[in-house]
A and B are shown apart, each in its own frame.
Chain A
Amino acid sequence: MNRDGRSRGGRGGFSRNAGSDVKAAYLFIAPAIIGFTVFVVYPLVRSFYLSLTKYNGLTDPVFVGLGNFRRLFTVDPAFWPSLRATGYLVVLYVPLSLALGLALAMFCNQRFAGVRIVRTLAYLPVVLPAVATITLWKFILNPQVGLANTILDKLHLPTSLWLQSPSMSMPSIVIVMLWGVGGTMIIFLAALQAVPTELYEAARVDGAGPYAVFFRITLPMISPIMLLQVILQTTAALQTFNQPKILTGGGPGFSTNVLMLSIYNNGFSNLGRIPQLGYASAQVWVLFIVIIAVIALTAKFSSLWTYSDNTPD
């Protein structure tokens, strides 16, 4: 380029080359744009349209306005319990998964013989097929012949109905979900290893104990990752499907009938019954709004508890 900012080929040459590059760039990103439009934008718009219709997937949709939403909020006896079950799951699972994941990560961040084996074992449940592990847990939690009650019985401790008790069914599902906490652990482990060691050394010189080191150095330094984990785990919990589908089918009562399961049942399942895709789409939009609201609130208040060093010099 010359000092006046023009390309050597003159103005015309610059334009021709730049134009060609832009076309090539568009061509290269076209698959992504097409994919995004076809698989994200179109389904989004389509599902919103369907949420305003009575549609069974077989005959043409019939526009019913807000009828599906009205039925959801005022008629459907399953909707509010489903929302409650989803909320209960999030409240129970997210703090436990973060606490357990962090505890495991801190343990695996130590130097001891066999630490790599321990890390592998902790992560192993994540790579195992979810359906297989969940099915295995169904046997473990069987109240009559399951391993959990057998052990409790041998220890002369009170047994439980687990998945068959309305009060224990959701905690049981959370226990099964925590089996995959290795994924959370790995991210926390990476965050812990990124904390500068000189901070710990300085703290030791100042005579800080382990609690002070954890709450004043470790936790603030990994708080941005904690924020990420809160958002990821909350979103995942709101979309939980496999565990209640396989373990309880939503019961007993509506105790584990989370929103995703309800959406699936209305939209696709119910052996031999005509699906209610319009109604299920309305539920999808309610779930979508809930997720957006939760993420927005989490992000808004994150500055209160996350540490950032992006302060101006």
Chain B
Amino acid sequence: MNRIIGTTLACAGLLTATAACSGSDSGGKSDGPVTVTVMTWESPETNTAIKKALEGFKDDNVKVQLVDTPSGGYGDKLASLTQAKKLPDLFWCGNDTEQQYTSQGLLVDWSKRVDSGDGGLKADDFVGSAMKNWKTSEGQMGGLPSLMNTYGVWYNADAFKAAGIAEPKSGWTWDDMYSAAGKLAGKNGAKYGLVADQLTSADAPFTMSMYSVSAGGAPFTDDVNHPTKAEIDGKYTEGVEKLAAAIKSGAVAPPGYDASNVPALFSGGKVPMMFGGQWLAAGFQTDKPKIKYGFAPFPQVTTPATLYDSVGICTPQYTANEDATYKVLAYLNTKVWDAVLPASPVAPPAYTPAQESYFNALTKAGQATVVDTVKADLSAEKTVGVRFTTQWASQVGDLTTAMYQPILSGKKPVSDLQAYAGKINDLIKSQG
């Protein structure tokens, strides 16, 4: 019996010792160079390019290590690493993640460093709307924006030509878009003329803001980070009515349409028009769709309006060496994109001096319409946010599913929009 107890205790001791040795040595404080770990959500190809580019980072006291991540499931991995307090020193994060994590005190505040131009990174060199959105109400920045997401309408130029419709271009209207969608629906294996996930998904109410703002009306919300109200005015209602009619006619795909394989269907000529981000250009460059395609700015009512969104790189507050981490962060923002984007032009950098390589790569690949649209988006005067970044944003998503989407599907009257906005305003008030 004593032997059994002894063996058990020995095993327990061994396990404890193993566990004690299994902690991360990220940014270790022991002698020798500091290791700064980096985690991205990019594809294996882009990660390979990033890894190669990071080899150019030269500092005797700092080593950089790219953490392997499974393809997909980045959100789950991020959540588990956050709760285990094992986040890498630098990790790719969305605007909402940065806002929410910063408000919980989980991230290092870089605002003073970037304001003072530390490491060659000057606040003025970043896209203004991105910097504004990455600051919390207290002026903190738990990370820095790295890449901009711009959006527009991808179209099948061949299908437009076959149907005798003029190709979309800057200045086209929402009526033009719905009219074209109606003519393209049901032709050449395409069930719908337009698949616009951004207009029918959980973020749909924000996208519709483009209509009202373009028509001189009010945006859906005054601020996605610190909203004080949600508003649906006459212009906004007009936009929803037009969209609901287009869905009813079968020109536009309804809410619930599975958008996961839409780019593939677009490449195969089964979707003539789709809302989407500029990042699809990188995939099209590799896969080379058989159709002739283009990328147009969003339609307008009277003045151009577009969505703005940016992703970035965040740092946990328990990073072992802030100086070393900031050096790598600065290198990522200023140098890495020059090496990565020519091979994989996924997005324009938020750090404007680094944007040239992105546009050069697209021009070289013959993606002139993408260059024009991205440039138009980046310089757009009227912009609206893509979604709330607040901690209670998921509750707004549930309200959208319960109240907004049925309006688009024609199951509830458009007049219910006011009740929907009222519920969101109640939520804003209850959150203080």
Interface residues of A (CB under 8 A from B): 20, 23-24, 27, 56-59, 76-78, 81, 142-145, 163-166, 169, 248, 251-255, 265-266, 268-276
Contact = CB atoms under 8 A, between A and B. Distances in A.
Contacts of B327: none
A263 to B, nearest CB: 13
B348 to A, nearest CB: 21
B330 interface: no
A25 to B, nearest CB: 12
Interface string B66-88: 00000000111011001100000
Nearest to A76: B398
Interface string B253-276: 011111001000100101000000
B35 interface: no
Interface in B76-116: 76, 78-79, 82-83, 93-94, 96-97, 100-101, 104, 106
A58 B1 CA distance: 43
Contacts of B101: 272, 274
Nearest to B92: A272
B402 interface: yes
B388 to A, nearest CB: 10
A129 to B, nearest CB: 16
B96 A77 contact: no
A215 to B, nearest CB: 43
A272 B403 contact: no
Main secondary structure of the interface of A (DSSP, over half): loop
Nearest to A257: B401
Interface residues of B, number: 41
B393 A144 contact: no
B106 A58 contact: yes
Interface in B398-419: 398-399, 401-403, 405-406
Interface string B18-52: 00000000000000000000000000000000000
Contacts of A165: 256
Could you say which of A166, A169, A255, A271 has the most chain B C-beta atoms within 10 Å of its C-beta?
A271
A58 B191 CA distance: 46
B379 interface: no
A24 B257 contact: no
B249 interface: no
B394 A142 contact: no
Interface of B: 1, 4-5, 74-76, 78-79, 82-83, 93-94, 96-97, 100-101, 104, 106, 189, 191, 254-258, 261, 265, 268, 270, 391, 393-395, 398-399, 401-403, 405-406, 423
A254 B261 contact: no
Contacts of B82: 57-58
Contacts of B75: 269-272
Interface centre among B76, B189, B270, B398 (most CB of A within 10 A): B398
B391 A273 contact: yes
B191 A77 contact: no
Given A144-B191, A253-B401, A273-B394, 10 more contacts: A27-B1, A59-B104, A144-B270, A251-B401, A265-B394, A268-B76, A269-B76, A271-B94, A272-B78, A274-B100
B399 A145 contact: no
Give 8 closest A-B pairs by Cβ, nearest first. Answer: A252-B256, A272-B97, A271-B75, A77-B402, A78-B398, A57-B83, A272-B94, A251-B256
15 contacts: A27-B5, A58-B106, A77-B398, A77-B402, A81-B402, A145-B265, A164-B258, A165-B256, A166-B256, A252-B405, A253-B402, A255-B256, A269-B79, A272-B78, A273-B96
B255 A253 contact: yes
A66 to B, nearest CB: 16
A254 B402 contact: yes
A270 B399 contact: no
A63 B1 CA distance: 46
Contacts of A57: 82-83
Contacts of A169: 256
B255 A252 contact: yes
B257 A144 contact: no
A253 B406 contact: yes
Given A164-B257, A164-B258, A253-B255, A274 B401 contact: no
A82 B207 CA distance: 27
A165 B391 CA distance: 31
A277 B401 CA distance: 22
A83 to B, nearest CB: 14
Nearest to A163: B258
Nearest to A169: B256
B97 A77 contact: no
A253 B397 CA distance: 11
Contacts of B189: 144
Contacts of B265: 144-145
Contacts of B258: 142, 163-164, 248
Nearest to A275: B79
A213 to B, nearest CB: 47
Nearest to B85: A58
A143 B253 CA distance: 12
Nearest to A23: B1
A144 B97 CA distance: 35
Given A272-B93, A275-B79, A78 B401 contact: yes
A268 B398 contact: no
Contact of B96 (A142, A266, A272): A272
B149 to A, nearest CB: 14
B261 A164 contact: no
Contacts of B76: 268-269
A210 to B, nearest CB: 45
